[in-house]
Structure 1
Amino acid sequence: MKTRKLGQTGIDVSAIALGCMSFVGFYGKSSRDEAFATLDAARDAGITFLDTSDMYGKGLSEEMIGEWQKDRGHRFQIATKGGIVAGAPRGTADNSAPYLREHLEGSLERLGVDSVELYYVHRREFPRPIEEVAETLEGFRQEGLIKGFGFSEISPAALRRAASVAPVAAVQNEYSLWTRLPDLGLVQTAKELGTTFVPFSPLGRGILSDHDLDPAAFGDTDFRKNNPRFIEPNFDFNMEHVRALRTFARDRGWTTSAVALAWTLHQGDHIVPIPGTRNPAHLMEWADADEIIFTESDRAALADIMPVGWAHGDRYSDAQIVGIERYC
């Protein structure tokens, strides 16, 4: 696995990281054994970097990672997040220093580590100046609790404000062949400021793969059940493009998920995508995506198959988008 820089921290991480939200049932039932098998596969594939949060299963994802590391005697590089208020109305955030410290310390305890490579504010508390939050996070870094800090779902303007206080190691936003919003400023601003850009859901929440999805079979807790892109007629329109992408990948001896992931990697050397899965077999379908090199002809074909704005439906419903910073 190739490596890439984590902002200005001086840390090298695997070019592809593993998102660990799926370990706790966000997209369907999961188990400890399955999560452990997936972490085994990640380690064996050369993945060094994990992404989790104190919100994933109310800390369960972090606990699983901590248990796995203790059991296997292996230490991943870890990014985790805090700042969302559990049990409060969706979108409620607390970015105060006492709240973030309490939740960071809880994450470290569950993970069984003294520090993490990266700590994100999961959602902004908009009334609180982001400069104040950056000062809090920089204080954690100077204490040795974290190696770097970042933000999730913020705007380019907010990133500039935070970076005026201290270097921001990473920002993460949804970014993939069907979600291009970060191209309208965030990818470029991160590059300019020496910040790593971390695409989450780079596989389109499972649609950009060789596995057929059945929205009718989604469980009540599955995020996609009420997501506009997975609701008819949008889903059928979207699958027309996905089937064309599958043909493109198959004709070149690649998996569809590896192609989708390679596309994100090709958008900049400061990009570290975090595909998520709880299935070790699925992980192996894209683990070598960093080896794919597109020709000019390949790039032209991808642009024809999935032109900017091709996806039918918004990436979030009105209820799901609460708390996310919009900038376009």
Structure 2
Amino acid sequence: MDSRPLGTTGFDVSEIGLGTWQLGGDWGSVSDEEAANAIDAALDAGITFLDTADVYGDGDSERRIKSALEERDDDVVVATKAGRRLDPHEADRYTHENLERFVDRSRENLGVDSLDLVQLHCPPRDVYYRPEVFDALDDLKDAGKIDHYGVSVEKVEDALKAIEYDGVETVQIIFNPLRQRPAELFFREAQRRNVGVIVRVPLASGLLTGALSAETEFPENDHRNYNRHGEAFDVGETFAGIPFEDGLAAAESLESVVPDGVSLAQFTLRWILSFDAVSTVIPGSKTPSHIRDNVAAASLPPLSAEQFHHVEDVYDTYAREHVHHRW
């Protein structure tokens, strides 16, 4: 699998990474053994970028990554996130003291002296207008507790504001055939500033795998059950913010241009990697076979012009009115 530079961090990371939200919670229960098998499968397949957060399973995801890496000798970049432990989650609580406390906890969970990359975890918009927050991150970098920092955002506007700060080296953002707005302006600005782009929710919480149907039932502790209308956190994190029924129709239409022998998930990941601004894309799975299939997408041939046009038509027909001006 090819690698791409992650902005100005100096890291070259695999085009397909592994998101590990599902290894901590909110996607149904997962055992330590299942988590270890998923991480092992990812590393064996050539993945060199793991993304986690301190709130995934209240630190379980970070600790499971630590346990898996202790048993191996892989050169892996581990990115984590900080900020969502704040309760209430308010901008004025993004203080040096709180950020340092979160960073120290993640360092312990991951068993490292310094975090490879820490990202502000979808903070309130006012955070981006507080230079002192980014000064605090610079201080933590100077103190040797973090190597690099970036942001994870909900909205394009937040991403554009964040990259005005010189210290922000990466942005994590939702991008997939049902959430195309980042490709309009943000990708161009990220490339101009040499900012790494990490794409999350690439498969729209499973919609773009082709494996879901109107009859699919989700466990009670799966966010696709309890956050379908944004009851717990930003609804854009669940099915990329598109109504479930429209998402199913969109997936069915996309299937019509997927080549034989290629899954809808692989087609989607190949489409995302067609954008040069993307550094890595981080589908999440706890199933080794799915992880290997995701990695295989990086080796597929480029999409045709006809396929690109069809993806645009699907977006315009099923998704644009729901998501374009919201995120």
Coarse TM-score class (shorter-chain normalised): 0.7 to 0.9
Post-superposition CA distance 1:141-189 (Å, at most 9, x none): 2333222111111655555554444232111121111112323532232
**Change in 2 beyond 3 A, CA 1:262/1:25:** same
- Structure 1 residues 147-186: aligned runs within 5 Å: 147-153=147-153, 158-159=158-159, 161-186=161-186
- Aligned residue number for residue 85 of structure 1: 85
Deviations 1:44-67 (A, max 9, x none): 111000000001011010000011
Residue correspondences, number? 312
Matched residue type, 1:172: Q
> Superposition RMSD on alpha carbons, in Å?
2.6
The answer to whether the 8 A contact 1:52-1:62 is kept is yes
1:118 aligns with 2:126: no
Look up the match of 2:135: 135
Contact persistence 1:171–1:196 (CA under 8 A) = yes
Other-structure match for 1:323: none
Among candidates 281, 287, 290, match of residue 273 of structure 1: 281
Matches of 2:42 and 2:187 in 1, distance apart?
26
For 2:311 and 2:80, the matched residues in 1 are separated by 33
User: How many Å apart are 1:260 and its aligned residue?
Assistant: 0.6
Q: Are the counterparts in 2 of residues 135 and 166 from structure 1 also a CA contact under 8 Å?
A: no
Q: CA deviation at 1:214?
A: 5.6
Q: 1:282 to 1:194 in 2, by over 3 A?
A: same
Match of 1:32 in 2: 32
What SS does the aligned partner of 2:56 have? coil
Whole-Å separation in 2 of the counterparts to 1:130 and 1:215: 46
Shift of 1:200: 0.9
Partner of 2:316: 308
Gaps spanning 5+ residues in structure 1: where? 316-325
- What is the alpha-carbon distance in structure 2 between the residues aligned to residue 168 and residue 265 of structure 1? 22
SS at match of 2:319: coil
Please name the residue that 2:7 is paired with.
7
Aligned to 1:106: 105
Task: Give the match for residue 201 of structure 2.
Answer: 201
2:228 is aligned to 227
What TM-score comes out, normalization by structure 2 length?
0.86
Please identify, of 234-243 and 253-262, the stretch whose mean Cα deviation from structure 2 is larger: 234-243
Identity percentage of aligned residues = 29
Q: 1:210 to 1:105 in 2, by over 3 A?
A: same
Residue 243 of structure 1 aligns with an amino acid whose one-letter code is E
Structure 1 segments of 4 or more deviating over 6 A?
Answer: none
Counterpart of 1:20 in structure 2 is 20
The answer to whether the Cα contact below 8 Å between 2:149 and 2:168 also exists between their aligned partners in 1 is yes
Q: More helix per residue: 1 or 2?
A: 2
The structural deviation recorded for 1:276 is 0.8
Q: How far did residue 194 of structure 1 move?
A: 1.0
